[in-house]
Chains A and B, each alone.
Chain A
Amino acid sequence: MSDLPFYEASGNEIDLFEHAHRNHLPVLIKGPTGVGKTRFVAYMAAKLNLPLYTVACHDDLTAADLVGRHLIGDGATYWSDGPLTRAVREGGICYLDEVVEARKDTTVVIHPLADHRRVLPIDRTGEVLHAPDNFMLVVSYNPGYQNFLKGMKPSTRQRFLALRFDFPASDREETILRGETGCDEMTAKRLVNIGHSLRALKDVDLEEVASTRLLVYAAILIRDGMDPIEACRAALVEALTDDLEVAAALNEVVLATFGK
């Protein structure tokens, strides 16, 4: 398996995911943006040798978009499977990213698939698909206080095993940066140090803090020969705040780490 995506485990999530897969249980992954939720699912799909069907949910996504629709062909119609139906038919992981964004009617198809029934009724074709053993439903969302109007209904939430992802510990994050970008140890250490400093500002000065993804971006720029301070300004400082005074402070943090 040479094309296994890079993933550095933080705890027992790989083990848990495998248990869930063996026992046909759906998984819910929650955590802030850019901590590796999507990467983890991609990694597990590759590890378990399953096809992965990813759906990025948005507020106009309906059940029909997941299940499929009839299309008109040459004088006839044919049925086209949606991503969820395809995953159920062929087996594999169906990953609904940011599931709380989707419209409410999607729960109609998610619920019977996520509990012991493991069926997908398709009313348009009259079929009832039974999910094969290698089908697995994975959903993710980002709990944040910014929007209290959207949350997961308990009836949906309680059908899933839940995994919480958070910002990785320092040494793990260094390994991630190095594994992901091939940057040198010192750069990784310093970037993680900056990330750590900026995360201390959550909810006091910053609404969203530096994700691992942003650190990876900075590391890529640096490895590509960009001045570290400029790289951090583009990837971290300006990405996190519009406030000039806060930006000045974040810049000082970068300077305090990379020096000038």
Chain B
Amino acid sequence: MEEWIGGIWDRWITQTARRDHPAAAVHLKDIEKTLGVIFRALGGDAGLRVAAAADRHHGARRTMLQRIAGTQERAAHAALDMETLRLPPSIAVFPAPTFNRDLYVWLAALAAGAGPTFLQAAHATHASDWIVRNQQATQLALQRYPGLLPRYRRLVDALLAERFAPEAMPADEAAQESAIRQALAEPGSVSTLPPLTRAKAKALQPVPLWLYPAPPVAGTTRKNNQPNEAEGNEQPQEQQALNKRYEAERTEMPENEAPLILMFRAESIFSWAEYLKVNRALDDDPNPDAGRAAENMDKLTLAENDQRVASKVRFDLDLPAAAEDDITLGPGIPLPEWDWKRRTMKADFCRLQPMVAREAEPQPLPERLRRHARKLKNQFAALAPVRRWQKAQPDGSELDIDACVRIAADRMAGWHFSGAGAYLNHRPTERDLACLVLADLSLSTDAHVNNEQRVIDVIRDSLMLFGEALNSTGDQFAFYGFSSLKRSFVRFHEIKAFDRPLDSVARGRIAALKPGYYTRIGAAVRRATQLLDKVPANRRLLLILSDGKPHDIDLYEGRYGIEDTRMALIEAREAGIKPFCVTIDKEGAGYLPHLFGPAGYTIVRKPEELPDRLPLLYAQLTGNA
């Protein structure tokens, strides 16, 4: 009973105390894509991604009711750093949804104009600088895009109506509030933020129209200057369920000579807001509750160290027993590798092992993909070789009137007809195209792209749908997957060979794809080149689906891996094959031009769009053939 009443009270007081307008809320996820385009169009860095910002304590004045309800003490602020534009997950500041949407657009425009200089300066200094910077950014945005001015005015007027008036505040807070109001009304007119004089003074109310400094990665010195980043794996705080960014500060990894002796009194731990790693020297198990805990914390403190937790080690050892592993086909194929330092091709340096999945039950196309597949089939039927009338054929079902007239006229003019045909023939035009898809199955494809799907799931769906699309074009195609474990064991999975139909067996193999091991692309490309070379086709396309840089645990990483891959691709081009890379690696733009040339790759920024994009891309690549 007590709990029940408590619950009702809590709901009532929370609702009543709200000063925002939840009914008018606009959510970031609904307009994320649009905002990203606006941000880039207005001059923002195309490499940045838009993400939701985390709530932060603002410590500002609240109404009596809010204090009773214990709400509204946190707010999400817009911020910009080198990798992300963070925007509040939803905005409900104004009673009208159009205003809230306008606020999102304004923040994107402001961030686009502010650029990285904003954050550098804001990192370094304090509130006074923050107020000046925001005014400058506002001025810049309004100057470059004068059309924003009416919208800005509307937003400022509406915002001032929502804020606590300075008249109702103590003098020092009122001075600050007045300065903010002045700065909003006339950007560029305020040069300092008056300081708060009393110890109990409340902090400034959040200014939703402005950017906030990215949560400072300040704090004590960092132990290593080079963070030892795990290969291609996401930083943990980015992988959390809500995809929010947490306020993080770096601290030194507490070095503890004797981990079993508590260095502090256990009773003194009051709250979660302590180190997550409470001196439990390198715990093996990731804390399953860490995500929830992180959400409840105000600040995550990250301790950096270069010792890897056991989970990192695990997959180096997980080579399955031969009886469990996929079936190997043949003794393996020796392949060369390029050593860029010595500038030599090391003959027979790698051994590539063709294999097929052991437990691949034949299966039909999954129900959830059927509709999409049907649509793709119809679209791709247009690419299929259509029957067309071919002119001036030596033989055919109809006379080519145009050619006949021409021949007759030529003959009358005394010029002798020499071989051009006079018939129309109705027959399919040849596309004569072969495509081999090489999918990266390395362990990094085990990473999640969203709550439901991992990269490998996206790859599976892509292959399923792409197969259906290719089938209806009539082009020859093959699917292979690859991963590697050092040079002696490059795993090359046969999914669908050129001479096999796309049937339930092939689909079963697609469904049985598992992530594992590393990415030795060079050897896989060389093998794919050999396979494509045997196919009788005029044009050959090698489509590589990748999620990251070339990498293996021996020397195959960094420049070595990239240069070997580059050499393998050059060989492919010399063999008359067009390589094209589709990657979901957001940093791909850094090395892909070097490998594939400016027109030889595309980066799919949202991996979940890959199943849609892939067939489209193929149509673009091979259309009007």
Q: List the interface of chain A (C-beta within 8 A of B).
A: 59, 64, 69-72, 76-79, 124-126, 144-150, 190, 193, 197-198, 200-201, 203-205, 245-246, 248-250, 252-260
Given known A256-B42, A259-B149, contact A205–B623 (CB-CB < 8 A): no
CB proximity of B557 to chain A, nearest CB, Å: 28
Given known A200-B41, A201-B41, contact A252–B105 (CB-CB < 8 A): yes
The yes or no answer to B382 lying at the interface (CB within 8 A) is: no
Stretch of B81-89, B401-409, B509-517 at the chain-chain interface: B401-409
CB-contacts of B346-389 with A (<8 A): none
B130-154 interface mask toward A, CB cutoff 8 Å, 1 = contact, 0 = none?
Answer: 0000000000000011111111000
CB proximity of A105 to chain B, nearest CB, Å: 11
CB proximity of A195 to chain B, nearest CB, Å: 11
Inter-chain CA distance A255–B109, complex, in Å, is 12
Inter-subunit contact B148/A256 (CB<8 Å): yes
CB proximity of B581 to chain A, nearest CB, Å: 12
The residue in chain B whose Cβ has the minimal distance to the Cβ of A149 is B625
A-B residue pairs, 5 tightest by C-beta = A259-B147, A145-B599, A249-B37, A70-B409, A256-B145
The residue in chain A whose Cβ has the minimal distance to the Cβ of B144 is A193
Inter-subunit contact B46/A200 (CB<8 Å): yes
The yes or no answer to B578 lying at the interface (CB within 8 A) is: yes
Most chain A Cβ neighbours within 10 Å, of B413, B580, B599, B623: B413
Inter-subunit contact B409/A148 (CB<8 Å): no
Q: Contacts of B23 on A, CB cut-off 8 Å?
A: none
Inter-chain CA distance A134–B562, complex, in Å, is 52
Inter-chain CA distance A171–B123, complex, in Å, is 36
Given known A70-B413, A72-B409, A200-B46, contact A59–B624 (CB-CB < 8 A): yes
B: interface residue count bin = 35 or more
**Residue in A70, A125, A252 whose beta carbon sits within 8 Å of that of B38 in the complex:** A252
B592-625 interface mask toward A, CB cutoff 8 Å, 1 = contact, 0 = none?
Answer: 0000001110100100000000000000111111
The yes or no answer to B33 lying at the interface (CB within 8 A) is: yes
CB-contacts of B542-595 with A (<8 A): 578, 580
Q: Can you list 14 A-B contacts with CB-CB less than 8 angstroms, sorted by A residue number?
A: A70-B409, A71-B409, A77-B412, A78-B413, A125-B415, A147-B621, A150-B624, A205-B40, A245-B33, A245-B34, A249-B37, A255-B147, A259-B147, A260-B150
- Known A-B contacts: A144-B599, A204-B605. Give 12 more (CB < 8 A): A64-B406, A124-B413, A124-B415, A190-B146, A198-B41, A200-B41, A204-B46, A246-B37, A255-B151, A256-B38, A257-B145, A257-B146
Number of A-B contacts (CB under 8 A): 120
The residue in chain B whose Cβ has the minimal distance to the Cβ of A145 is B599
Inter-subunit contact A246/B147 (CB<8 Å): no
Inter-subunit contact B621/A201 (CB<8 Å): no
The residue in chain A whose Cβ has the minimal distance to the Cβ of B402 is A69
Q: Contacts of B578 on A, CB cut-off 8 Å?
A: 148
Most chain B Cβ neighbours within 10 Å, of A69, A144, A254, A255: A255
Q: Contacts of A205 on B, CB cut-off 8 Å?
A: 36-37, 40-41
Inter-subunit contact A259/B150 (CB<8 Å): yes
The yes or no answer to B539 lying at the interface (CB within 8 A) is: yes
Inter-subunit contact A69/B38 (CB<8 Å): no
The yes or no answer to B35 lying at the interface (CB within 8 A) is: yes
Inter-subunit contact A69/B415 (CB<8 Å): no
Inter-subunit contact A149/B37 (CB<8 Å): no
Given known A150-B624, A250-B41, contact A259–B33 (CB-CB < 8 A): no
Q: Contacts of B409 on A, CB cut-off 8 Å?
A: 69-72, 77
Inter-subunit contact B40/A200 (CB<8 Å): yes
**Residue in A144, A149, A256 whose beta carbon sits within 8 Å of that of B147 in the complex:** A256
The residue in chain B whose Cβ has the minimal distance to the Cβ of A256 is B145
CB proximity of A244 to chain B, nearest CB, Å: 9
Inter-chain CA distance A159–B87, complex, in Å, is 55
Q: Contacts of A149 on B, CB cut-off 8 Å?
A: 539, 622, 624-625
Inter-chain CA distance A200–B48, complex, in Å, is 13
Inter-subunit contact A72/B620 (CB<8 Å): no
Q: Contacts of A248 on B, CB cut-off 8 Å?
A: 31, 34
Inter-chain CA distance A126–B623, complex, in Å, is 39
Q: Contacts of B105 on A, CB cut-off 8 Å?
A: 252, 256
Q: Contacts of B145 on A, CB cut-off 8 Å?
A: 193, 256-257
